[in-house]
Structure 1
């Protein structure tokens, strides 16, 4: 809150920006993480 006040932002703006950044990150990274899990599972099943 102190950072927002010092920089002229509101809590609502900060929350919206964080939500957008998190959503973007999750949209990009989730498929890569799922593929990594699948590779690991397939490697273990072929032992």
Structure 2
């Protein structure tokens, strides 16, 4: 994950012991997914937000 805000940049990662992150799928015709910070935090904690 790479984030940048003004002159501050941050690079961080999270390693799973097993399995995969459950990421939401893009809407039909879209190539990207927009997430709120709270949704990203939930995904990194292993919570499925695609429902």
TM-score band (shorter)? under 0.3
TM-score, normalized by length of structure 1? 0.27
Structure that is richer in strand per residue: 2
TM-score, normalized by length of structure 2? 0.26
Larger radius of gyration: 1
Structure that is richer in helix per residue: 1
Which structure ranks higher in relative contact order (CA pairs < 8 Å, sequence separation ≥ 6)?
2
